[in-house]
Chain A
């Protein structure tokens, strides 16, 4: 269970990107966050594993308050949070297996990491997951030899190698063509069910969000303005999320001007 309470993120002295945001993600569900660029979706996701440092508020994952952790404990907590990126973020010059095993870097010894002598159980698990997503035959290929969809599968397997308690996906399909994009979404949904894993996806494609999600959260200017089942998302709410400025923010902007 992930509980975000009164989360505020401000970059420098500017207006906050996240404004007193509350969110509760329970059990295994695939939740999509939609909203126009700059709404704060990426910042929200990155606050969860503290790639971005929250300014105020608390983020609790299964009893651990992530915002309070110091260096070593933070690394331990990050092992429990998998992340998939828009640009895949693989190390191009390493092999697929090395990229996949880098998901275990938080667990294995430095020596094992340098010499690439990974624990047998990790190798077995890697092959199982790679077979599951259909990239096992590429284990020894260099990551940059793969196509976009295959690279994102490597990214997903890397995150799953952590045996995460939650999976964050920051626009995982935005760099992919429509067909591959749908395959990756299907994969994420199926994996969420198979592994009983809650998944949070930032996504621009609303059609896909509605098709694959159990729940949709709509963000606008750092606030959650929609939070319901996909079926409840109608045209008026879409307008509110993507077009109009929410009335509260209109006043704030007026006050500044």
Chain B
């Protein structure tokens, strides 16, 4: 038998129900407006599977005639990623130190550090690369500096957070021994952030390896230049060769970094 309370109970009041319908309506309006404003050419969208099959047919089999220059560019890519990561690690150490709450010398340094981190992180590697290609001209220098600039923010932020999470007790003990600030850092902070330091550096190297493969698209060196050239000249079989090489590169990067992680951590 149905009681009064079973009939009266409702999850939402009429006002709440109305508001929910209005929110859903508004969301639908936004989606429809967004879709209609981007000018999709629907014929091309429906056409896509055919184009995909066509492109794939042109890519097979991959063309290895240019393999030596592809491999050379790959080697360049690895070097860009590695050198940029090393430079970024060196430069991010002081930034991490001044942007961690517990080690920063004063408020001004804290804000300078945070400004460096935010500005480095808010600009994508490709955009940094465009800037540095304009400054240094096309080539690997622009690529290295671009990757480095983007990495400083990433490394500095994560290392800074690792510094903020350390145990303060040993620091207190070292201070009680009469150790200077710098010696306290070497004996108290460095050993505690070492695991995070290695983990973050290896991760960033892995990311940089992948990012440096596209740098060539804006002229900043590496394998991307060959990829761009092949696409521009419709050499689809060479494009597929480059893509396979990049895939192999990324997988080996993954293997190397996970091996390093196991060894070091």
Binding site for B on A (CB under 8 A): 49, 51, 75-79, 81, 83, 85, 87, 89-94, 98, 102-106, 110, 113-114, 155, 158-159, 162
Contacts and interface: CB of A to CB of B under 8 A. Distances in A.
Given A51-B172, A102-B174, A113-B186, A93 B191 contact: yes
B175 interface: yes
B259 interface: no
Which of A87, A90, A91 has the most chain B CB within a 10 Å cutoff? Answer: A91
Interface stretch (B17-25, B49-57, B141-149, B177-185): B177-185
Contact of B182 (A51, A77, A78, A110): A110
A75 B179 contact: yes
A105 B187 contact: yes
Given A87-B169, A90-B170, A78 B186 contact: no
A106 B179 contact: yes
Interface in B139-192: 169-170, 172-180, 182-184, 186-188, 191-192
Nearest to A164: B177
Contact of A162 (B178, B183, B194): B178
Contacts of B169: 85, 87, 89
Given A105-B183, A110-B183, A79 B178 contact: yes
Contacts of B177: 78-79, 83, 102-106, 158-159, 162
Contacts of A155: 173
B192 A85 contact: no
A243 B174 CA distance: 36
A51 B168 CA distance: 12
Given A76-B178, A90-B173, 16 more contacts: A78-B175, A78-B176, A78-B177, A83-B173, A89-B170, A91-B174, A91-B191, A93-B192, A94-B191, A102-B173, A102-B177, A104-B177, A105-B183, A106-B178, A106-B179, A106-B180
Contact of B179 (A94, A102, A114): A102
Contacts of A98: 187
A101 B170 CA distance: 14
A110 B179 CA distance: 10
A124 B64 CA distance: 66
A113 B187 contact: yes
Which size bracket describes the interface of B in this complex? 20 to 34
A93 B194 contact: yes
Nearest to A75: B178
Contacts of A78: 175-178
Nearest to B175: A51
Given A89-B170, A93-B194, A114 B186 contact: yes
A62 B149 CA distance: 54
B115 to A, nearest CB: 29
Contacts of A93: 191-192, 194
Given A89-B172, A98-B187, A105 B178 contact: yes
Contacts of B178: 75-79, 105-106, 162
Given A91-B188, A105-B187, A75 B173 contact: no
A85 B194 CA distance: 24
Interface in B185-226: 186-188, 191-192, 194
Nearest to A85: B173
Contacts of A83: 173, 176-177
A105 B186 CA distance: 11
Contacts of B192: 91-93
8 contacts: A75-B178, A78-B178, A90-B173, A102-B173, A105-B178, A106-B180, A113-B183, A114-B186
Contacts of B187: 91, 94, 98, 102, 105, 113
Contacts of A114: 186
A114 B191 CA distance: 12
A103 B187 CA distance: 11
B179 A51 contact: no
B100 to A, nearest CB: 18
B179 A105 contact: yes
A90 B188 CA distance: 9
B180 A75 contact: yes
A150 to B, nearest CB: 16
A92 B192 CA distance: 8
B141 to A, nearest CB: 32
A87 B168 CA distance: 11
A149 to B, nearest CB: 18
A171 to B, nearest CB: 13
A149 B186 CA distance: 26
A114 B190 CA distance: 11
